[in-house]
Structure 1
Amino acid sequence: MTAFHFSFDLAHAGLWAQNFYADPFWTWQRVAIVSLFLFCAGLGQAVAARQAVGWPRFWRRWAQVAGAALLVSAGSAFMFPNSWIYFGVLHGMAAMLLVARLTARCGGWLWPMGALAIASKFIAAYALSMSASATFFNQKYVNWLGWITQKPITEDYVPIFPWLGVLWWGMAAGFWLLQRYPQCLQGAAPRPLAWLGRWSLPYYLLHQPVLIGLVSAFAWARA
Structure 2
Amino acid sequence: MRYARLDRIRGLALVWMAIFHFCFDLSHYGLINANFYVDSFWTSQRTFILSLFLLCAGAGQAVATAQGQTWARFWKRWAQVAGCALAVTAGSMLMFPNSFIYFGVLHGMAVMLLLTRVVAHFGWLKGRWLWPVGAAAVALPTLIQHPFFDTRWTNWVGLITHKPITEDYVPLLPWIGVMLWGLAATQWVLANRPQWLVGDPGKNPEGRGMVAHLAPAALLSLLGRWSLTFYMAHQPILIGALSAWMLWQGRPLP
Worse-matched range after superposition: 148-157 or 211-220: 211-220
- CA deviation digits over 1:163-208, x for unaligned, max 9? 0000000000100111121012234323212211121101000000
More off after superposition, 187-196 vs 77-86: 187-196
| 1:62 paired residue number | 78
Identity of aligned residues (%): 58
| Match among 158, 177, 195 for residue 170 of structure 2 | 158
Partner of 1:194: 221
Structure 1 CA distance for aligned equivalents of residues 38 and 234 of structure 2: 24
Q: Which residue of 2 aligns with 1:131?
A: none
Matching of residues 116-135 of structure 1 within 5 Å: 116-124=136-144, 128=145, 134-135=146-147
Partner of 2:95: 79
- In the other structure, the counterpart of 1:107 is 126
| In structure 2, distance between residues paired with 1:211 and 1:184 | 35
Q: What is the one-letter code of the residue matched to 1:58?
A: F
Letter in 2 for 1:163: W
Q: Does 1:47 align with 2:59?
A: no
Residue number among 118, 133, 142 corresponding to 2:154 in the alignment:
142
2:191 corresponds to 1:179: yes
Q: TM-score, normalised by structure 2?
A: 0.83
Q: RMSD value over aligned CA atoms?
A: 1.0
- Which amino acid in 2 is paired with 1:12? H
Give the match's secondary structure for 2:156: helix
Shift of 1:221: 2.0
Q: Normalising to structure 1: TM-score of the pair? A: 0.94
- Tell me how far 1:135 sits from its aligned partner: 2.1
User: Partner amino acid for 2:33?
Assistant: A
Aligned-pair distance for 1:52? 1.3
Question: What secondary structure is seen at the aligned counterpart in 1 of 2:74?
Answer: helix
Structure 1, unmatched stretches of 5+, are 129-133
> Whole-Å Cα distance in 1 between the matches of residues 26 and 166 of structure 2?
19
Amino acid at match of 1:71: A
Helix, strand or coil: the match of 1:144?
coil
Q: Which runs of 4+ in 1 moved over 3 A?
A: none
Among 1, 4, 28, which residue is 2:44 paired with?
28
Amino acid at match of 2:233: L
The residue type equivalent to 2:97 in the other structure is P
Q: Deviations over 1:122-163 (max 9, x none)?
A: 111xxx3xxxxx321111100000001100000000000000
Aligned-partner SS, 1:115: helix
State the match for 2:206 in structure 1: none
State the Cα deviation string for residues 73-114 of structure 1 (Å, max 9, x = none). Answer: 000011100000000000000000110011111222111110
Q: Residues 15 and 219 of structure 1 are in contact (CA less than 8 Å); yes or no, is this contact kept in structure 2?
A: no
CA contact (8 A) 1:83 1:153 kept: yes
Question: Aligned equivalents of 1:177 and 1:107: distance in 2?
Answer: 13
Q: Which amino acid aligns with 1:118?
A: V
8 Å CA contact retained: 1:120, 1:162: yes
